[in-house]
Structure 1
Amino acid sequence: MSENRKLAAILAADVVGYSRLASEDEDRTLARLRALRSDLIDPTIAVHKGRVIKRTGDGALVEFRSVVDAVRCAIEVQNGMVERNAGVPQDRRIEFRIGVHLGDVVEESDGDLMGDGVNIASRLEGVAAPGAICLSEDAYRQVKARLDLSVTDLGNTQLKNIAEPIRVYSLQVGTARSPTTATSEFATSHRTGSVPPKLSIAVLPLINMSGDAEQAFFADGLTEDIITDLSNVPGFFVIARNSTLTYKGKSIDVRQIAHDLGVRYILEGSARRSAERLRINVQLIDAAGGGNHVWAERFDRDLADIFGVQDEVTRRVVEAISGKLGVKNIVARSRPSNLEAYDLCVRSRGKCNISRSDNSEACADLERAVQIDPNYCEAHSNLAISLLFGWMLWGEPQIPGRAKALMHAQRAVEIDPGDSHARRILGCVQLYERNWDEAKFQFDAAVRLNPNNADAVAWMGELQIYLGNPQAALIACEESLRLNPRPPGWYFWIMGMAQISSGHYEEAVGSLSRDETYGTGSREALIPALALAGRVSEAQEEARLFLAGNPDWKIADFTTNLPFISMTAAEPFVDGWRLAGPPD
């Protein structure tokens, strides 16, 4: 029988560090890969008329009719991965290497392809950097005049088991779409290329110049406090901390950052802390106006004057951006009276939803902080949410955790009724106490006090899900993503829940697959999303994995654990779970 030879464009892709990811959490890694295939990879291959030749556990070989189609597909996948990895810790990211080659192949009777054309594509993938695409000279020659590409010529490269060196070109990719659009199809308020609001700003993480990595928490905490102070200024649009934190340690032109986040101004700088002194260097840049420096200053003060420095930075930024706003427009926040309490509180920020041990550590630090400074508003609020998550996420006893969470949340609001963060936390606690009206009152107050409070808006979306108002939930999700275009994973959990409630099941699968923080919580919702989207076999596999770790779980637990106001509001989730087949 004669050989069936042909010229083909071959794409080879593989996951970077798959063995390490699988060894740390095999079930979760496989589930994420399945979600990526269904949500991103397979649809993109189909759009560009590709044919999957074979899959390995962590990679694939794909044939295309043209190199242009293959390269366009590779670019879309890699840019899609940038968006999905935004905000995910580096060691938990799924990243692909991709190689593309045009060459002679042999087609077997079962459709499999063999020969140098396939081998070279696979070897090109092996020399690509994580997140990059490597093209052979033959492939590059076909696309260089047809696609607007930025490439690096790697020269003649000896590929493993390939006799002659191959000239290799590395394709520069990794530029995500407008972050709001990339985050969700529902977040359409950010328009790429539109003029950002005049009073809009993003505060980049201050660089820790203390010579002690242990002090990084202090620089991050100072950054967050300045963001909070600015977000309380009436009329200002301020990007949330999670979104600016994604730029930490990266060398990116501030004009590009401003464009990505949809703001006009960027505040950047550094902080140095010693035993008794504090030095902060900050500069305000009009990034949308050509990158000109508007204002810069160095503050060299006693460490005890840290809160005075925060106030002064805020005041100077406001005055530099808009001379119309005076000191009277800057809302004074409740401050701690003790630096040790402040350090304990800053160290605890964000730990409550990472792991059970981190949450326990945060609770211990915050208990100490409120002992040292009983009138420290933020410490009471953060302790309340850590106690809430302790029993809600991490299996800590509800007694006395629930009562203590409510007590500390109420105490924070008593200390400072005008603190938006405190109002938001009290709303969270009241929601899981099933006091829906009180939760709504507190969320409304949080947003009224600080319209930039993206977390409060996101939680309002969660409340609307439980009240059975899916459209209102989607609107809240859209607004939260406008304020925080590169959010933490739990935003995607809320978005996915809202999409299930509103009947957008495929979209829900995509959102829930991107949640890297809630773990079993997102899987608990992903299962009904898959089932309702008609992907019952995938839902059953996810359910099997979930129940293996939660053998006593029943469908009734879903409505018991989450504060749905009625069975009508919970009905889509219950229906989806029943399709997946676990016991009632």
Structure 2
Amino acid sequence: MQTDIRHRLLAILAADAAGYSRSMARDAMGTLAALDEARQVFRTQVALMGGRVVDTAGDSVLAVFDTAVGAVRAAVATQDELASRSSQPPAQLRLQFRIGIHVGDVIEKPDGTVYGDGVNIASRLQALAEPGGLVVSHAVEELSSEQAHANFEDIGPQQVKNIAKPVGAFRLVPVATPNSTAPVAPVAAAPAMVLPHASRRWHWVIASIVVACVIGGATATWRWQSLRHATPPVNIDEEVINRRALAVLAFSDRRGKTAGSTLADDMADAIGAQLERTGVRVIERGATMQQDPAAPEFERIGREQAVRFVLGGRVVRDGSTVRVAANLTEIATGAVYRLHEAEFKSDEEAVRSAYGRDVASALKARYYEIEGVRARLPGRDKDPVDAIVLAWRDLDRGNTQEDLERARQRFEFAAEVDPNSVDASIGLGVTHLVAFYNYFSKSPRDELDITEKVLKRALELGPANAQNLSAWAELLFLRQRPDEAFWVWQRSLEISPDDQASHLRMAIALVRQGRFADAQQHMTRASGLQPHQTRAKQWLIQCRAEAAFAQQRDEEAYEILRNWTAEFPNNGRPYLMLAAIDALHGRKAAAAANMARHRQLQPLSNIAYVVLTHPSTDPGFLAQRERLVEGLRMAGLPEGSK
């Protein structure tokens, strides 16, 4: 008798394509392609809501969730996305799905398949739904209608096949939308987003992320969760934006004006547009048109436009060469900071260049420096915005448990002051991720569970925040869901194409999936962005070392790792791979020394923990991971608990 069969109470989602047979008769290949696309939508939305797809037999989809709220939200997001896509294929190939959801007892086998009346009832409810619609049982309606912001209509008890008692059924009430024929549940309003260079095709993608990431049903345990609906005394995220607000002036270009050149204005406009895309509040140049770029009245600009900084610059012409330099002036102190200088062969080359991106990257680094100095001034320790600034600096060091503990306490303090702060919540989530990766957790699997809860809270607060999406992608990858992780990373980079952390974390994941050429593209992009945190610099080094080792270029990896330890001697991670490479190549004394240094800095690491921090579904990388593990065993790393 099997002893590993479990009885569980789960939310079951059953879906079936309407008119599938007719579509197959018209165009079998086209219908199969549409079905594959729809299944991918189901997989993505189910995963984002913490569920798992159990079966996709025929034209059906069966998924299970720990919460009814998660199942309903996944169903609503899926129908919404499928409806948005329905205008793309020919009308005869559009697949609409009926969905039914029930909460009930199921039998779960070791392979993950589920059986029982709970599954049967969900399937029968699915048959009651309209194409593109959703029908749920009474239990689901009671558990989810309020938290999922869904309106249900009671359609009365339903006698369904092979179920003795009638099942109370509720139909999702459709919400009329101009371009949709599918019923869509109303959701809580999200802040308006501006995606300047995103195509219209991605509008529905971002909308689906917004719906999918509102995870109200997750059980939150941190102490500031109960304050989430209270009006905070400080709006941290708004204060951060206000502190970084600036006015952009036209660049000084006296010789250009006499020749009719508009380069000074064009460069200022390009920089302003780039900064707005990164979330900086920029005062349009029209508000400072009367200012002389060569002698601006900074105090007047600050007073009239409520900004603390002014960004300006100059264009210098030397024959056929054009030099452009941008600088930042802090109004209160009069301090001037050089941001970026570049040389071009012509006005046209300057306008077509990535100069605006380079200035935005330099500005981010400069703000990091200025805010760090201010946050350390006496009396600033009780300011929640300054607490976040200092927390990110603690996290940037992140080489000791003390660093991470200070970061965690500061992020939690800020979250207590403003429970709705995206900056505070994502910082807390990233702190847990760094603790996991740095082998600072006595129970790494529990650390991942805590991280997931914190990041779900962050996603609820900022579903279209690039940092949130990137961190969530990281968690999905750690959960062995690489396809979904890369999909979310791509959405993160759609929102913020120049986010260095997203490029680097995605590059490391691509290496671990054996996709070295793709990883190199992201490493190259990240290298072109000015780093302002040592953490990002170390990620880039780590990615290069792992890529070399995974391709069996051990000596190249060894040299990269040695340089890493020379620059950052108190980070224990490079010593780990150094010890393994030494052991694999018979250098016993060096292996022992490097392992001793690693264990001194990261005493909680072990073989099982290392495997957990190097997830992959790629056979090639898994073989190289086993080679790493073999070297670590030879170097004396303990096994640990699986």
The interval holding the TM-score normalised by the smaller chain is 0.3 to 0.5
Q: How does the TM-score come out when normalised to structure 1?
A: 0.42
Q: Higher RCO, 1 or 2 (CA under 8 Å, sep at least 6)?
A: 1
